[in-house]
């Protein structure tokens, strides 16, 4: 059954990863929707906003970070705005730009959702793994992410001195 592209170990790893991701995404998505009324997309936007100082993000920067098209984000923001979860704000010094800002309602929503969501993450993944497996998973992610970022940003070979600093998150603007 070992294909001609990947050997046995590689194929097992890849298929396991993919299957895990398929099932996990579906499960967490369903639970999130059921328990909080937020979609994964909502959660993505809100959780990124809440982590950054000022609870605001430039539209394009957020789109880049979450790997959405500007257009998708713009549409989604419009809908979230109608639900009162976020609001757009002008950027001082650049009249083209816009901030997405977390509203009070959005803050409540994400605060409530986070505990539910992360408890799911625990139950369905984190708590099932050993310390060592968690470490390794962190390593793997760091390596893969480091590679993908390098490749797409040939100019900025990642923050010098902190190679592969995947934890930087939105707080440390890339590029």
105 touches 82 (CB < 8 A):
no
- Cα atoms in the Cβ-side hemisphere of radius 13 Å centred on 99: 16
101 touches 86 (CB < 8 A):
yes
Binding range to a second copy, per CB under 8 A, among 55-63, 75-83, 92-100, 121-129: 121-129
**Residue 87 is a binding residue for DNA (CB under 7 A):** no
- Which of the residues 17 through 76 are near a second copy (CB under 8 A)? 17, 19-27, 66-67
CA proximity to 57, closest of 105, 99, 106, 107: 99
* Residue 129 contacts which entry, a second copy, DNA, none (Cβ below 5-8 A, type-dependent): a second copy
Which residue, chain included where needed, has tokens 């310390």? 131
Binding range to DNA, per CB under 7 A, among 95-103, 107-115, 142-150, 159-167: 95-103
Strand ranges of the sheet holding 86-91, from the earlier edge strand across to the other edge: 56-58, 94-102, 86-91
Binding mask 133-172 for a second copy (x = CB under 8 A): xxxxxxxxxxxxx-xxx--x-------------xx-x---
Q: How far is the CB of 78 from a second copy (least distance, A)?
A: 22
- Number of helices followed by number of strands (H, E) in the chain: 6, 3
- Cα atoms in the Cβ-side hemisphere of radius 13 Å centred on 62: 28
CA proximity to 104, closest of 90, 79, 84: 84
**Residue 129 is a binding residue for a second copy (CB under 8 A):** yes
Site residues for DNA per CB under 7 A: 33, 39, 41, 58-61, 68-72, 74-79, 88, 91, 93-99
- Would you tell me which residues interact with a second copy (CB under 8 A)? 1, 3, 5-6, 9-10, 12-17, 19-27, 66-67, 114-115, 118-119, 121-122, 124-126, 128-129, 131-145, 147-149, 152, 166-167, 169
């Amino acid at each position: 059954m070992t294909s001609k592209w990947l050997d046995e170990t590689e194929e097992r790893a890849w298929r396991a990863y993919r299957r895990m991701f398929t099932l996990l995404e579906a499960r967490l998505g369903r639970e999130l929707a059921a328990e909080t009324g937020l979609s994964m997309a909502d959660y993505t936007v809100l959780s990124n906003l809440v982590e950054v100082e000022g609870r605001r993000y430039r539209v394009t920067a957020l789109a880049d970070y979450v790997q959405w098209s500007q257009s998708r984000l713009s549409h989604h923001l419009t809908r979230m705005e109608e639900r009162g979860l976020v609001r757009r704000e002008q950027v001082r010094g650049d009249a083209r730009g816009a901030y997405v800002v977390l509203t009070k309602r959005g803050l409540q929503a994400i605060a409530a959702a986070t505990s539910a969501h992360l408890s799911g993450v625990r139950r369905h993944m984190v708590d099932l793994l050993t310390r060592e497996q968690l470490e390794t998973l962190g390593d793997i992610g760091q390596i893969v992410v480091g590679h993908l970022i390098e490749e797409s940003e040939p100019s900025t070979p990642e923050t010098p001195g902190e190679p592969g600093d995947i934890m930087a998150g939105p707080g440390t603007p890339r590029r």
